Structure 1
């Protein structure tokens, strides 16, 4: 067998194992050393190939695909700093629990650490930011090689898609020549099937959990961003059984399509309510249960610390469960699944008055929030108007900093099918546009919008290169307040010295030319009325950029007035009791 045949068998064995393990999509960036695998992927009809020349953007694009489909996505790049450019998205995938299969082509061992071009130390390049890392052998004719790489490839997919989901890394060295013989059919896999366990609690854990539920008079549930693929019907069944107020974060996607019989438990204004000290004194819970990631609301998490509940139960699919408060008293290692629907309380002592108290406050706060855009024309009013005018079955991808906070404030409980997504693993503003583009290509049956600030948009304008290689359908709404709006709410804003230089960081840039460069339809808006008109315009291009010009100082003023109005209404209500 000649070298070309050996190399062909090697790369197609990897591809065959990926396909047999359920991989459907691959994102490729161009490069020489990755040629054998790139050819194998491109010639495999079972795979959907996506391309992006910028590796940093490519990795975030793959992240978006995986978030949209809840399935593993493969990334392939050449050797050297190309692999290093994957790092930010890999960090996000690790903390957001998104399954990525990272394949980095590498130089052979004899070219490492001797000054060869495009050669860096790629072995375990991503350290603890991947669930698993392995290096493959150089392609050869040894009988052990193909079975080894086949099972390691299967193992990689299994690890990436076992709770908690996450990225894995395979480093694959190749010697020249790099050409292969194309195969019309993948080699038959000698590996048949992987079976992994469903992650459910032990009988002892369920018994203790049920006992705590039955003896709790005042309990509350917090639901953050849930694991990919979660069946939320089981969560709603659990809520129906315990009948506790539920703090529902927008990223959980339980604020939308709320079942009618669960409306009384659904609380969406908790962040504003947590700014009122008297209210907090009245709702101190005996027990708190949290599903999913920690919520965006800092005030809610501070309340948990202040309340110091007798039981704070975290249900998480990772033994390294998330609890930055360090207040948890119980941890249940499980996914939110069918076992929740099977819980039955025999002797519940939950007080209906506690639920009613929470719900009345939520309704009062919601009423104030609903009237916000009647008088305000800042970013918050813009976001509220957008939420009211998005079509049914729209997906909103949201950047960190102010956009996600405005969504969390202004998205109230609703029966509409709008869903919210974001990169909240590491909470960065890098790669957001690329992730949204990948996400939109993974959810082609629904319309995707991206809500983003100007600095985050600038971080990732290379994202749109992807639109030159595959169809992309995305409407981008940039809130351009010429700088970092989130810092205006932090203590730094009270120190005038160096504030604009270090935190405000105005650029005086606008984005019409960016839209022109990528053949995007461009509109601009200065008021919410103009914004809604541009949103309603039938766009001719699949990519549309709406640039909304706002004022940072006005945003702060109006947001604080909103919180003051809510506080006043809650105070009046408490006085009347």
Structure 2
């Protein structure tokens, strides 16, 4: 660029370079300073070169962009105006940082000469995300080749980047013809046409995850030590392939992309509370495991050899700071002795049968979990897990829904193109409705898209339903496990009866919100579901647009339910002296 470039010309140049970097979806939260971006984006959308998604809430816009990049496996840009609008993107940027998602923040800014002057909506927003996203403060004086290089790097690097664009002078183009506001760079081919994905690697979707070819140059592990493979969030197929090659038990979280096939244990986290845990001599950690204390205890045990593989964000999960860190998933030359895996597989089958029998038991049967009247939350999760058929997308919220799935979801069949994801980088409940909408929009060819969220998670981002007329809406079913509060805390230390006097107010936080009325206000289809058969039937349907299925459950017995699961695990695995 040159010093003579206008604000509309600078905005157009940035958008053209984003297009060349593979960006095909852009989320816009409108404002005055970002006006030249808005007009160019509208023209690009009308031309069919970009898909524009307009949202009025910047926080939701950021998570929509996060979902779009998760679903499409391409870089996605989110454009805001200046001031507090940029700050509202921080939660989504933090999540993108911890998961290596390519979200490009394009923040329109006032010129540098106005900083520190008290000028309206002017603040120090360049670099506002600190360590979570590198920032490039761009002006019209920047040489074209330098601007091009910066934008190209933002599209290709893992994790988020902020492009803070100083726009000076007249913001609106002098030409009133919309065709002049955007034109595709015509001197280069379309990089998206060849299926170019992250870091220039051609992406294919297999199993439950989008994956690339698995590297086979990892360290060769000796056989012999009794080994468990732990697959956390975004582990991908490499964890499963290692466990399969070595015939080792695989404890794979639902969003790992590895909860597939024979080696994956359905009840792995519960089995780690039994005597089987004491026999583990080595553990290989792939991805980012966050769901259970038994797993965290295992991978933090200094008496166990722990090998942890770096994730997409460059970090190896090692909460105990004891692991030997690897850059690539290790390999083995053949299967280990079968007795080790056979013991885990048999225990997993016994425990799964005990759980399923209890869930199917009639009211009053002592085998039934202690949930009182109504539907068991675990039974709801089992129905959702069973609905994840071939070519299905599932976005699962944090707190209880993903943990329930971790206990009751039977490992899925390989090579059926399932896609199960969540925001597990920081494991927060923030932005999940918008994330789910983005994931569904990013995978338009999925047979069906489902989101499984708790009621507080749903309410925390109801602005994700705030979609204007004419905006793209996915075919998405949102299942809300509705227990009027934060049930997960009852299973933690603060759920002990010693804290009962304060617990309901400061942890459970009942809200009494009428979800039907809320959905009606957003013109979103709603159905209350009190029957598991109806839930299964609804999840087999192919609705048009977004709909919400509210499944009311009780949270009164969550702590007792957790104790019931631990007791079943002890029944499934005999103790060392032979007692059950």
C-alpha distance in 2 between matches for 1:501 and 1:11? 49
Whether the aligned pair in 2 keeps the contact of 1:108 and 1:174 (CA below 8 Å) is: yes
CA contact (8 A) 2:310 2:327 kept: yes
Contact 1:223–1:290 (CA under 8 A) maintained in structure 2:
yes
2:121 is paired with a residue whose SS is coil
Of the candidates 548, 556, 560, which is equivalent to residue 557 of structure 1? 560
Question: Alignment partner of 1:452: what SS?
Answer: strand
Q: What are the equivalent positions in structure 2 for 1:368-387 lying under 5 Å apart?
A: 368-375=354-361, 377-387=375-385
Matched residues in 2 for 1:518 and 1:224: separation?
35
Q: Using a 3 Å threshold, how does the CA distance of structure 1 residues 549 and 27 change in structure 2: closer, same or farther? A: same
1:458 paired residue number: 459
Helix, strand or coil at the partner of 1:497: helix
Look up the match of 2:222.
Answer: 214
Residues 139-288 of structure 1 correspond to what in structure 2 (within 5 A)? Answer: 139=140, 145-159=143-157, 165-180=158-173, 181=175, 182-183=180-181, 185-187=183-185, 206=218, 209-210=219-220, 213-226=221-234, 232=237, 235-256=239-260, 258=261, 263=262, 265-276=263-274, 278-281=275-278, 283-285=279-281, 287-288=282-283
- Selected match of 1:82 from 77, 85, 89: 85
Q: How does 1:310-459 map to 2 (within 5 A)?
A: 310-328=305-323, 330-334=324-328, 343=331, 345=333, 350-375=336-361, 377-415=375-413, 417=416, 418-446=418-446, 447-459=448-460
Task: Spell out the pairing of 1:274-313 with structure 2 (5 A cutoff).
Answer: 274-276=272-274, 278-281=275-278, 283-285=279-281, 287-306=282-301, 308-313=303-308
The structure that is helix-richer by fraction is 1
Q: Provide the residue aligned with 2:208 in structure 1.
A: none
Name the structure 2 match of 1:16: 16
C-alpha contact (below 8 Å) 1:27/1:52 kept by paired residues: yes
Secondary structure of the equivalent of 2:573? helix
Distance 2:54 2:420 in 1: 26
How far apart are the structure 2 equivalents of 1:505 and 1:572?
40
- Considering only aligned residues, what root-mean-square deviation do their CA atoms show, in Å? 3.1
The within-5 A match list for 1:444-523 is 444-446=444-446, 447-466=448-467, 468=469, 469-494=471-496, 495-523=499-527
TM-score for the superposition, normalised by structure 2: 0.85
Shift of 1:318: 4.9
Deviation at 1:109, TM superposition (A): 1.7
Change (3 A) 1:237 1:397: closer
Question: How far did 1:493 drift?
Answer: 1.5
Classify the secondary structure of the residue corresponding to 2:288.
coil
Deviation at 1:572, TM superposition (A): 7.5
How far off is 1:11 after superposition? 2.2
Tell me the SS of whatever aligns to 2:61: helix
| Aligned partner of residue 487 in structure 1, secondary structure | helix
Cα deviation code 1:510-543 (max 9, x no counterpart): 200111112222111234345345545675x522
Contact 1:399 1:453 in 2 (8 A): yes
Offset of 1:235 from its aligned partner? 4.8
Contact 1:4 1:179 (8 Å CA) reproduced: no
Structure 1 unaligned blocks of 5 or more: 160-164
Shift of 1:464: 0.8
Aligned residues: 539
Contact 1:429 / 1:456 at 8 angstroms: preserved in 2? yes
TM-score by length of 1: 0.86
Query: How far off its partner does 1:426 sit?
Result: 0.9
Say if 1:244 and 1:355, in contact at 8 Å, map to a contact too.
Answer: yes
Q: Name whichever of 146-155 and 556-565 sits farther off.
A: 556-565
Query: Which residue of structure 2 lines up, in the alignment, with residue 162 of structure 1?
Result: none
Shift of the 396–187 alpha-carbon distance from structure 1 to 2, 3 Å rule, reads closer
Cα-to-partner distance string for 1:299-336 (whole Å, 9 max, x where unaligned): 122123347223534344555422112120x22224x5
Does the 8 A contact of 2:230 with 2:286 survive in 1? yes
Instruction: Give the Cα–Cα distance (whole angstroms) in 2 for the partners of residues 74 and 331 of structure 1.
Output: 33
Partners of 2:111 and 2:166 within 8 A in 1: yes
CA deviations 1:192-216 (Å, max 9, x no partner) are 999969899999x84xx21xx2253
